[in-house]
């Protein structure tokens, strides 16, 4: 698997190379094409991919919180 790091929040990323911070946390900074049934409903209902880095920081949602919400998805 290839690395895919959070590189900051951007409104538009024409190359699709800047994933949201929770996505990179959930996938341990590696590329992943896991979608749908591979993502636990508890995490999907949390709408984790919609939150920017500042929102996650304010909520104190670090990598451990994201992984716990995703039940350790690797």
Tell me the domain boundaries of the chain: 21-69
pLDDT in tens, 13-31: 777 678 888 888 888 888 8
Q: What angle do CA 8, 28, 11 make, to 5 degrees?
A: 25
As a whole number of angstroms, the distance between CA 23 and CA 48 comes to 8
* pLDDT recorded at residue 71: 61
- H-type alpha helices, the chain: 21-26, 41-44, 53-58, 63-69
pTM: 0.69
């Amino acid at each position: 698997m290839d690395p895919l790091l959070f590189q900051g929040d951007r409104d538009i990323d024409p190359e699709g190379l800047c994933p949201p911070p929770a996505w990179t946390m959930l996938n341990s900074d590696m590329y992943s094409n896991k979608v749908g049934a591979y993502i636990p409903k508890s995490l999907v209902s949390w709408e984790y991919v919609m939150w920017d880095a500042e929102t996650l920081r304010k909520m104190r949602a670090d990598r451990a919180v994201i992984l716990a919400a995703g039940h350790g998805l690797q």
